[in-house]
Amino acid sequence: MSMQLELKNIHMRTGDQLKVKGEILHDAERFQIDLGYDEEDLALHFNPRFHDDTDGAVLVCNSKTGGCWGDEIRDTHNPLHRGSEVKIVLKLAGDTFEVELPDGQELQFPNRAGVDLISYIRIRGDFKLTSFKIC
């Protein structure tokens, strides 16, 4: 069963971290964590996929401006597994976003829009959220 959490009027600033804990569903196809201004303007779209037609299990990052997607950045080293409990930390670090994954892997994604304030967070997909913290 797919879940969705959508938060508006958040004040996540440069240097802040979003810590997400939960369980990836046993039959997961994908889930996503979005940070931005609203659903049409996303500074970071973090999208682990477990059965991608091109790359199999892959981590996809992207941004969306005015409803138009940018170029995907794909990483085929996906340490996330179906049925596992995970902690993912996303940090707005000035000109980049840093994503810390369970095996110590860290992804960096450029802050293409140059945002210094995140006011919209959405988590949805094949994921059971157990903890959510901005610090």
CA distances (Å), origin 128, targets 2, 36, 57, 86, 113: 8, 22, 19, 10, 30
Cα separation, 24 vs 49, whole angstroms: 11
Q: Are 120 and 33 in contact (CB under 8 A)?
A: no
Q: Residue 134: pLDDT band by 50, 70, 90 thresholds?
A: very high
Distance of CA 17 to the CA centre of its chain: 12
| CATH number, domain with residue 126 | 2.60.120.200
- How many structural domains is the chain composed of? 1
Closest CA to 91 of 32, 14, 36: 14
Residue-range definition of the domain harbouring residue 113:
3-134
Per-residue pLDDT, averaged over 49-68, amounts to 92
| Whether residue 103 has pLDDT greater than 90 | no
Q: What percent of the chain has pLDDT above 90?
A: 93
Residue 96, strand partner residues? 110
